[in-house]
Amino acid sequence: MTLLFKSKAKAYRKLLTLLATSLIIITQTSCKATKESDRIIVASKGKIESLDPAQANKLLAIQLISALGDPLYRINESGLLEPRLAKDYPQISKDGLTISIALREDVLFHDGTPFNADAMAFSIKRFMEIGTLNYVIGEKITKIETPGPFLIRLRLNKPSSSIKGLLSSINLTPVSPKAYLEHQDKFLNKKFIGTGPYQLDSFTPERQRLIPFPRYWDKAPKNLGIDYVSYTTSTSLFSAIKTGQVDVLLSNSVEDGHRLALHKLSKKGKLIEGIGPAMQIGYIAFRSNSAPLDNKILRSALSYSLDRNLISRKVGYGLREPLRSIVPPILKTSKTSPWPKYNPQIARDLFKKAGLCDSNKVTIPLTFRSNVPADKLLALTWQEQLGRDFSDCITVKLNGVESTTVYKQLAEGAYEAVILGWTGEYPDPEAYLSPLLDCTKSQGSTCLEGEAVYGGTFWASNQIKTSLEQSENLQGSQRLEKLSEIEFLAADGAAILPVWLVKPRAWAQPNFSRPKFDGNGRLLLDRLQKAINE
């Protein structure tokens, strides 16, 4: 019996040795296959529900569409307007009411049909009809003409100095009229037929496979394709880039603690970090049409009460810059910051002027997007700071709500104070001021219809409305000065409280070249590649 047991044990050991050797061979083969693959895995957090440029307004979808399609113009890495599907810069008539754009004649859609003036007109009209953000051009363009096969003409109802930047919007990315024939008046969410360097090979909300378009009119991508994958948590993303499961990680999906750790790893040479232009702002919107925040003095007190430097340190670890403007500084020539600095004495004086402090306190519900970790940390930090400085004046009650629900309920006036974020559809001050401040119908300082309603502030200013209209007739420094005036008016109204500025970042494995961004802050997926001397 003992001999039989020893014989079996010996056989088991041989079997285990054989299995272990096989696993090593399989693992090495698998690693080698992955290493030699020129397809690149790019990871982020969150699902992509729609790839329709007429609907896209979330960063992940916009990022992907920028690789699948081309705009008429784009903002390059130097921040300058650059023709893409347009052959040259737009020609504007002397009265400013007509814009003529000559188009490239060597471009094909992914379905093989030609890109031309009719296709561009189809795409613009479609966006004006069903686009989620169609207000950005709907009130500007009155007619679209195609006087030639590769010439498109836009008729405006009034001169618009912001139209050049608007023509670089990802929402105006042309799509194939043939492919979208049955979707002229409805969204096509799970397909995309454009003209970009990649074409969509497969799509699920969690994973999108991009392959190079062999008939692309410009330079071919520097890789053999992109697998764009979604993870559910920041922790899983952090682990995936550290263990080499993914090649590139986008920062908009990562908690600030993980951002800091990844930043430190890049400093040690364990990752390659790319940084884009700071175009994303974080702010707090105050509902100004009902008590208690209909009191402008109270809103002004809150403007002075926010310690941005503390928040930048505790929430963003210094990677989120304090911001006292709703227009990113990169888009302004003036270095002025219209919103006031943290000043607890002035804040206390204003709280008292509003009838608060000592025996009278106000309670304000502050809503944060529960799926955005930085929002929760901001809410907790400000709540703690207000309790430290003004415990006898104000109490903040926190409320976490998923972001999709927040955006649906903003126009219903569901939130007295809510933490939000915004990235302009194109790199121009107007792309921040109009969406956050514009109002088409008002009664006194209350907005009844317009973007201020959709943004949850319900605040209106006739001066701002007039100044926005005047700015469209100005150019250069005069225009920027007028837009700066609008910011000071908004700061005085105190219905919006800017908090921080965020630079987009991407981290790649150490055997990759540094990730690059365009002037809109979008990662250039077609430039991603392994280092030449790998």
Q: Which of 57, 186, 50 is nearest to 130 (CA)?
A: 186
Predicted structure pTM score:
0.86
Q: Say if residues 224 and 212 touch (Cβ distance below 8 Å).
A: yes
- Domain 36-69+196-277+510-533 matching CATH 3.40.140.10: the answer reads no
**Residues 444-460: what's their mean pLDDT?**
96
Residue 36, pLDDT score: 42
Secondary structure letter of residue 170 according to DSSP: G
Give the pair of three-digit tokens for residue 71: 């705009």
Q: Say if residues 73 and 168 touch (Cβ distance below 8 Å).
A: yes
Instruction: Please enumerate in sequence order all residues whose Cβ is within 8 A of that of 102, keeping only pairs 6 or more positions apart, or say none.
Output: 86, 87, 88, 91, 150, 151
Mean pLDDT for the chain?
91
Superfamily per CATH, domain 280-502? Dipeptide-binding Protein; Domain 3 (3.10.105.10)
Q: Say if residues 373 and 255 touch (Cβ distance below 8 Å).
A: yes
pLDDT (tens digit per residue) in 69-119: 999 999 887 778 899 999 999 999 999 999 999 999 999 999 999 999 999
Q: Say if residues 356 and 298 touch (Cβ distance below 8 Å).
A: yes
Out of 109-123, 200-214, 418-432, pick the least confident: 418-432
- Domain 70-177 matching CATH 3.40.1640.10: the answer reads no
* pLDDT higher than 70, residue 311: yes
Q: Say if residues 266 and 322 touch (Cβ distance below 8 Å).
A: no
**Residues 378-391: what's their mean pLDDT?**
98
**Residues 387-393: what's their mean pLDDT?**
97
Please tell me whether the peptide bond between 504 and the residue prior to it is cis, using omega within 30 degrees of 0. no
CA dist., res. 256 & res. 233, Å (int):
13
CA dist., res. 16 & res. 5, Å (int):
16
pLDDT (tens digit per residue) in 155-192: 999 888 888 888 999 999 999 999 999 999 999 999 99
Burial call 349-372: b when 16+ CB within 10 Å, e when fewer:
ebbeebebbeeeebebebbbbebb
Give the pair of three-digit tokens for residue 431: 């792309």
Tokens 């003209």 correspond to 195
| Pairing status of strand 248-250 against strand 394-401 | unpaired
**Residues 404-417: what's their mean pLDDT?**
96
| Pairing status of strand 394-401 against strand 362-369 | parallel
More confident: 163 or 421? 421
More confident: 6 or 77? 77
Q: Between the CA of residue 393 and those of 5, 55, 93, 217, 234, what are the distances in Å?
A: 81, 44, 57, 63, 37
CA dist., res. 81 & res. 63, Å (int):
19
Sketch the domain layout of the chain as residue ranges.
36-69+196-277+510-533, 70-177, 280-502
